[in-house]
Amino acid sequence: MKPVDLKTWVIWSLRKASYRWPPRNACLRDAKVEVGKSSAIQKEYPRVRNFYECAGCEETYPRQQVSIDHIKPVVDPKKGWQGFDEYISRMFCGPDGFQILCKDCHDTKTKRENKVRKENK
């Protein structure tokens, strides 16, 4: 069995705990949109009840196609790892620190952040 890296385990545990963070879920509730039964998106996904607006492209998507994203990355792409105090304060931010992004917008944002990380290594 591979020995467990304590830092990795703590980060994993914090990330898992953050999924139940109330401001994170409040962001999801705030992005929920009502769609009519005759709308195109409802016809495309007839069994889906909840739809959300992407903060990037402002399109409407079912829950399976959106992510709850930190507006400010948990690990700053320019500065890198700053320690657990910084990590925890960014991970457990208020509802205004989160946004709902569709998969395409989230992938685009992640690629931009990874490019900055690579440039600042």
Quick: pLDDT tens for 53-66.
999 999 999 999 99
Domain range summary for the chain, segments of one domain joined by +: 6-119
Q: Say what the pLDDT of residue 110 is.
A: 97
Which token pair is 45? 């996904």
- What pTM value is reported for the model? 0.87
Quick: pLDDT tens for 73-112.
999 999 999 999 999 999 999 999 999 999 999 999 999 9
Quick: pLDDT tens for 5-38.
899 999 999 999 999 999 999 999 999 999 888 7
